[in-house]
Structure 1
Amino acid sequence: SGPAYSYPTQVTVTCNSGYQLNGVSSVTCQADGTWSDPVPTCTPRACPALTPPTNGALSPPGPYVYQSTVTIFCNSGYQRNGASSTTCQADGSWSNPIPTCTPRQCPGLTAPTNGALSPSGPAYSYPTQVTVTCNSGYQLNGVSSVTCQADGTWSDPVPTCTPRTCPPLTPPTNGTLSPLGPAYSYPSTVTFTCNLGYVRIGASSTTCQADGTWSNPVPICTVVFFFTNTVVCPMLTAPPNGALSPIGPYFYPNQVTLTCNPGYQLNGVSPVMCQANGTWSNPVPTCTPRTCPSLTPPTNGTLSPLGPAYSYPSTVTITCNTGYQLNGASSLTCQADGTWSNPVPICTVVCPMLTAPPNGALSPIGPYFYPNQVTLTCNPGYQLNGVSPVMCQANGTWSNPVPTCTPRQCPTLTAPTNGARAPPTGSNSYQNTISFSCNTGYVLNGNTNLTCQADGTWSDPVPTCTRKITLS
């Protein structure tokens, strides 16, 4: 190692750990007092390109050389499984593998008493949405759906299901009811009794139904005096899910009007008339659930139950086949007016996850559904070979393959007159370095080493070799 060298000394050049030699490994002091080659350079050793984890990102984006440290981040709602950083080591390998980013888990949910959850669990992860419904006869107190949030907590507490209440009842005049109240909820039953000397006209009891209405009206307690020429018709009872007016008693030629509760339709004749022979003009009609239009399962999905007919207040659940995402409501209810609460959703195809090309990036990260588009870009010094953006197609495939990022090429350089270049050919890709030297008796004018830059140009012009002038 110096300080002076004489002909024909040969000097070997080595690089420190983590650095690689660019140029010849030894130079010789020649007879004319010049070195046989330019002194090589030592550049940091490069490590392989890194691919960001799915639902995560890297910082900085690369390229990476010895002692570079890369920090790995996970997107909001995802947690890292593995080391938070990795370092490019002297041997060109990484100190840690790239971790994975998995959805953050939310605590388990318990269905409310007299209710249900959809989906039912047992585990929930970001960004799952859970719908809460109550059994027939119960009403929801709180939000109808809760979402697993990015911080691993639920957006709202699970609501409760409380019995549906019916309107208050007043005891019939000259009668009592039991229990007395003050409030009644599904499925309470109230019994009516008339005082001594009075007769009940109507049902002996009524039940608070799932829709919040009473199964029968409050009866009346009356004393009926019949004359020998009075025609009396039998007492009528309201059909299930219906009502009648007036309550009775009924004499020729009284008329009784029968109606159905919301969601039910009348099958038969109303009104009916008490006839002179003591019979009714028509039988008591019935109230049947109103039907909704038939449903067709979404393409790549199923309905449950399947049908063939649906009536008020049926609920139908829609699920998509594996590889498809539900767009729309997950359940439909046949409403009182004979229409569905929501349109049938669609099942959208899911395309395979994409990985950014080495020395490149993609946006957005995913997951991907038809017709999402993904834009791919290359790092500085690299150029895109292929199509960007690419689109997730209706058949679940991408419109084009993922493009590649290749090093940008600089113009080919030739050795200067009366000089040479090392290596003699090639090495015109991004970050490549070419060394120049002059023949014996010539002096180099310019920079010895030129590097191919990210914009496809060389760091300096090619040097020239001019004859050495010797003074005598």
Structure 2
Amino acid sequence: MFLRFTSDYLYVYAWFSLYYMSRTAGQCWDPDVPANGNRDNNSNFTSGQTVRYTCMAGYHLWGTANITCQSNGTWSDATPTCEVESIMTGSSGGPVTSRDYYSNYGNNGNARWLITVPEGSIIRLTFARFYTESSDFLTIYDGASDDATELRRLSGNHRQISPIISTSNTMLLRFTPDSRYPSYWFQFSYISRTADECWDPGVPTNGARDNNSNFTSGQTVRFTCMAGYHLWGTANITCQSNWTWSDATPTCEGRRADECWDPGVPTNGTRDNNSNFTSGQTVRYTCMAGYHLWGTANITCQSNWTWSDATPTCEVGSIMTGPFGGPVTSPNFHSNDGNSVNIRWLITVPEGSIIRLTFDIFDTRYDNILTIYDGASHNDTVIRRLSGYHQQISPIISTSNTMLLRFTPGYVHIDIGQWFRFSYTSRTADQCWDPGVPSKGFRDNNSNFTSGQTVRYTCITGYHLWGTANITCQSNWTWSDTTPTCEVGSIMTGPSGGPVTSPNYPSIYGNNEDVRWLIIVPEGSIIRLTFDSFATQRYHDILTIYDGASHDATELRRLSGYHQQISPIISTSNTMFLTFTSDYSYTHRGFQFSYISRTADQCWDPGVATNGKRDNNSNFTLGQTVRYTCMAGYHLFGTADITCQSNGTWTDATPTCEVTSATGSSVNNSVIGRGTNVTGPSGGPVTSPNFPSNYGNNENYQWLITVPETSIIRLTFDSFDTEEGYDFLTIYDGTSDDATELQR
């Protein structure tokens, strides 16, 4: 088994520590000891041997207590676990809450709840609240163990969860938080019934019933309300032969049958009528200073005891009436809002015009939502609902002269870094949309965008115009081409070039970068692009590579985040176009690339191995050979001589020159050099460099584990913490990194 660890040039994390063991065909693997548990057999795992498990005080054993090594080298069952748990045996129960309800439940706080009701009954589980991190799961099983059918897996935010019903008299709930962010809570209850019963219909708030336990087919429940409350719905409901009730459970409300419901008072508002809601009565609303009334100010109780309109709201917001406007931003743009306040913006442009809304930034929590309506109120058609992060949002266009935007934060505070910014323009039916002015550019026409009119663009000194300089409004009210841009960039025309870097490399690039490169090589050639480093803000700062001379060409690759290695990117023609854009927040070191080109009768330059040499630096035509050697102190891994074949590929990969050093079978000491060969039948702990301190930047470390012939190897970890997505331990099923990759 071969292991290689590589770290990048940025952050370093703590460590990892691993062990390995081997076994022959007559043994089972060591089945381990569960956390908070014990076993009676620690070494004899040959066929027929049994291991018996127990748990420490305060923990329950889940799974099979005794497992036996079978003749096929597997255990008769999985290793059990010892976990905190609660066993509930009543016919109903709850509310049951996550640990430290309404506080953080902690990391790695696995918990189980086993519900067991009388034989012949089934269980109905309901939730009053559920909010966890998206990586923390509550799994509900239709039986007494996690081998049973999974009924539901819950994580994240759920405002409402439909009842979950078992098919038997047992249900297991298992909560598994991860090791990262502890957050929020959940609460559940359960009831049960037999196959010949209806579910308990419940008791209405401020009400009572005459039957609290007999819900079999044909039985009736009669409801009444407390003094001062009126019963709404059916007073008597009966359990039918299909085990459903003849009607819904009624409610007990504090109003008479000849009244409308109290319509309420909007937050930050007042009303002139607080008690008389009989038919024909009107309630008039006003808002406090600094708030706008949205909706109908006066609503009337109608003869069918419904209000003539919904209760209005009093919200922060603004009304914009110009033909264009913006940029308009979310509250406390680029800072922490921290207040769960609904906000509205109403855009009204001249009659006969329509509105075009554009965003240059949008980044909110998933439960903080901006809804855009095609009209003046939230009763109009929803055009778009936005939440989360959007790198780019297509323009949003109304069908009339009004558009309403409403921002509704969730019940969690808006976090730092949650914001958006928009602008709008309008036009009549005989115009093109305003095509805009590129940053760092000018145009000669700022107002006349009717059919046939042309706009001519230029850029300020130091910037290149990318795109078409002159665009014309066509008879279908679209422009003849997209608006060009004025950007920093360069045009490279040599047959090879580089290294080319992102701005400020190797220091960090800036926010809001927009850089382009155009590569043009001789006709009949193609381009091969390679990277020796790449690190940007993942998902947000992006390098896009096109197979042609502009961003209208086919996209070859889109890169963001950290890449330890990027496969060469090859064009199909003699041009390649690259664009790099960064957003308004975090930045990284960036990237460095080079390119070469070749004609059809050549192989690509195979490169020179680090710490190595070759005898041929320029002639890579068909049939030519390149011979590699390594510097003193380094060993050549791979094929020393490779030849350019008739299909334009080399006979083998370019070899590498690396340091290796051998120690004895023990690895429980400091490792010298860049690698270790381990030959014992078992070993460990094997650790990352500098363990238990942080490993270094740019590590490149390898281990080769060799055990006796006919044995196989089992690798286990007791700790692992590296920079996720950037620093890797790769495990191969053989003696080198040419073998099959087992895990990364």
Q: TM-score, normalised by structure 1?
A: 0.19
> Based on CA coordinates, which of the two structures has the bigger radius of gyration?
1
Q: Which structure has the higher relative contact order (CA within 8 Å, separation 6+)?
A: 2
